Amino acid sequence: MGYTYEQIFNVIGVCIYIAMGGMAFYGAYCVALVIRRIAQKRFSSEEAGEQFLAEIRDRLRQRDFEGLANFCDTPQLWSKAVPQLTIVAVENRELPIPKLRRLLADKFERDVIADLEYRVAWIASVVKTEPMLGLLGTVLGMIGAFAKIASMQKGGGDPTALAGDISFALWTTAVGLFVSIPLVLAGSAIHVRMGKLQDAVQFQLGRLIEELDLAVHQNKGD
């Protein structure tokens, strides 16, 4: 059984709407996921970060390396970037400071930033794809409208049928922009949060390495 042009057009239209809805949902999911993971990797406040640094400073000055590693491996600190990097620093405390800095920086980039950037890349893909799907809908809607105009010139067709094709063309464009614009703003906000995360981790790691270097040298001097 053959399908008419109108039926095929309707099926394609439904598929475009489904694709746009799926992309919008996935983009929103990635935004929520990235924001949540950034929040997990950071301390809740500067005061919480200072409290952690004070705790590791006290343990390092006592040269309690095992106790410090166990403290950082507690459930409330499992998801934080700096405590997990602290464990790596303690395990590799005999390395020269420049090598230790590179090791911690590489691990932070690989384990934290790379995962966030992967999700941000998908958000950017949704931002680019949604308007393209909207444009596809626009083109198909105008094709349908012009086809009806051609049939009317031959003496057939209802002029009111043009409204459906034109409405489809405009709605797909509007939906594409409606989804893309908030995601662009969300992407910018995420980049700001990632920058703040990197600044905070670099600052806290600098303090950690200074205290660790002092503790290791004290240990060697005894």
- Every domain of the chain and the residues it spans: 5-221
| DSSP codes, 107-127 | HHIIIIIHHHHHHHHHHHHHH
Report the pLDDT value the prediction gives residue 44, as an integer from 0 to 100: 86
Cβ proximity of 108 and 81 under 8 Å:
yes
pTM of structure: 0.82
Q: Measure CA of the first residue to CA of the last residue in the chain; give whole Å.
A: 91
Burial of 67 from C-beta contacts in 10 A (0-12 / 13-18 / 19+): exposed
Query: Is the Cα dihedral 99, 109, 200, 88 positive or negative?
Result: negative
CA dist 154 and 96 (Å) reads: 85
Q: Is 158 helix (H, G, I), strand (E, B) or coil?
A: coil
Residue 207 CB contacts under 8 Å (≥ 6 apart), including other chains = 53, 57
Residue 68 makes CB contacts below 8 A (sequence gap 6+) with 56, 59, 60, 86, 90
**What are the phi and psi torsion angles at 219 (to 5°)?**
-65, -40
User: Do the Cβ atoms of 163 and 144 come closer than 8 Å?
Assistant: no
Please tell me what DSSP assigns to residue 93.
T
- List, in sequence order, the alpha helices (H) in 42-113: 46-61, 65-72, 81-91, 97-108
> Do residues 103 and 91 make contact, with C-beta atoms less than 8 angstroms apart?
no
- For residues 168 and 13, the answer to whether their CB atoms sit within 8 Å is yes
DSSP state of 96: -
3-class DSSP state for residue 79?
Answer: coil
pLDDT by residue for the chain (222 residues), tens digit each? 455 667 777 788 889 999 999 999 999 999 999 999 999 999 988 899 899 999 899 888 888 888 888 898 888 888 899 999 999 999 998 889 899 999 999 999 998 999 899 999 999 999 999 999 999 988 888 888 777 777 776 665 566 667 777 888 888 999 999 999 999 999 999 999 999 999 999 999 999 998 888 888 665 544
